[in-house]
Chain A
């Protein structure tokens, strides 16, 4: 069964790109969220196998959202989408419970490699 993914990013552009990458890797994107608030809600509602999480977002940052998601489900797999130069933020997210991270701009194969690794499929 295809793994179910929640994609969180405030840019539709990024969400679409990430969605296409997941689709190409045989994943099922079951939901999207455009900010941290929505991310936590969607996570609780959808219980995805994996969540990709942008860091800089309105209303609630990706770090805060990750913290809340992990609080709700300590086995949640959250992968941060960061940019170069955000190293300290990513470390903060890892402290908050993020499983791994990918760095923008990313290539499809890099994303899928990390995701499969994290899910134990590679």
Chain B
């Protein structure tokens, strides 16, 4: 299956092409979402639609880093307008044989695969969606 390959700093990630609507450049400024979890960067106006932008780094609990985040990967999730803030998008590649990711099981991560000799973490669109919703639902 063809995947959109993108990076958060040096780490590479993939999402099925069918789950990605488009990739856009982030706006100069976001509208802050009051009382939203820290991972929510804000909302942006994309051709009249209000897109919620989530910082993938925080969604995946990665350590904070200095690299500028310069692309928004828009998920194709029906009426939900959700964008993932990433460092850069590398391109579209065929990803085969996804194997289980080592370490802690996360719903947002489907597994890992090898691409051109390098590892890529394959994300699960539904899991990402669920992870975002989980951010908003206070755990009791």
Direct contact between A and B judged by beta carbons closer than 8 A: no
